[in-house]
Amino acid sequence: MKNRIFTGAATALITPMNEDGSVNFERLSTLVDEQINGGIDALVICGTTGEKSTLRYDEHLKVIEQSVKACAGRVPIIAGTGSNDTVYSVELCSDAEKVGADAFLMVTPYYNKASQEGLVAHYNYIADRVNKPIILYNVPSRTGVNIKPETYKELSKHKLIVATKEANGDLSSVAKTKYLCGDDLDIYSGNDDQIVPMLSLGGIGVISVLSNLLPLQVHNICNDYLSGNTQTAMENQIKYIGLIDALFSDVNPVPVKTAMNILGYNAGPFRQPLYKMNEKALNNLKQKLTECGL
């Protein structure tokens, strides 16, 4: 078995903004501290939920660096460093490592896409040039390309490619990936509505949007299942399905940032082209927050 980055729940943390659209670094530090005190097992910084795609390079690195400082080694900091430019990803990984990132989350190349052979070449090229472990990120609804189980098997041969965040929604594919890769590739759910199903197929945790609001509860879903309390884990997975659906009723991270602002977390605005929720979706989100006691 390769070195494991974390077991349980990692929050794909939002990037808080000031009203003028600049990054609110003071609030970022507070959110990091609140997440860790809330029981989270790891933090993903500058992922999709962190609005990576609209952060400038210098902002991107500063958000990672500030998160590392606020964390102070208490949990792993996983930096989103994926790109559709292979060489750019290497540069970003190198700089993220210099400011203290413990691991990298690397989405499949978006827009220009890649063949399965191209994915192997892309990830191996990067892995050969970095010093920290890599979590692959498979989210074909955003990128237009899906990592097949056989490709996972090939990628898992690299010592630094240790895990995947699987968000393709295909549990049969997850089962085949686990069958082919065994202990050479850890699997994290990339969908909050599939935490327990993914754990039942050999997954070891989740990279979560929901945990921005409920870090302890998402941690507990994972911990209960992995500790053998499967009934409790299942009941809590189902308990939050309505809220999870509401958090994905618009483009992530619009709903979760909206929810955090409603609850007083001072998450701030999101950057265009992201746009505010429509009234129907907003009212549903408020209702689901109320139903969950928030």
Look over the chain and give the mean of its residue pLDDT values, rounded to a whole number.
Answer: 97
Closest CA to 45 of 28, 57, 21, 30: 28
User: Is 165 an annotated catalytic residue?
Assistant: yes
d(CA 274, CA 223): 34
Kindly list the domain boundaries of the chain, sorted by start residue. 8-229
d(CA 18, CA 163): 34
**pLDDT at 1 exceeding the cut of 90:** no
Tell me what the mean pLDDT of segment 15-22 comes to.
97
CB 37 within 8 A of CB 72: no
Q: Is the pTM of this model over 0.85?
A: yes
For the domain spanning 8-229, the CATH number is 3.20.20.70
Of residues 52, 123, 132, 165, which has the active-site annotation? 165
Average pLDDT over residues 211-225: 98
Residue 2 has pLDDT above 90, yes or no: no
Longest dimension (CA), the chain: 49
Catalytic residue among 123, 137, 225, 240: 137
| Average pLDDT score over residue span 208-226 | 98
Catalytic: 176? no
What are the distances in angstroms from CA 175 to CA 112, 144, 150, 180, 181? 28, 22, 12, 9, 10
pLDDT by residue (tens digit) across 152-172? 999 999 999 999 999 999 999
**Per-residue pLDDT at 142 exceeds 80:** yes
User: pLDDT digits over 46-88, tens only?
Assistant: 999 999 999 999 999 999 999 999 999 999 999 999 999 999 9
Query: Given pLDDT bands bounded at 50, 70 and 90, which one contains residue 259?
Result: very high
Mean predicted confidence (pLDDT) in 255-282: 97
Give every CB contact of residue 219 below 8 A, 6+ residues apart in sequence.
Answer: 8, 9, 39, 40, 41, 211
Kindly state the DSSP code that residue 276 receives in the 8-state scheme. Answer: P
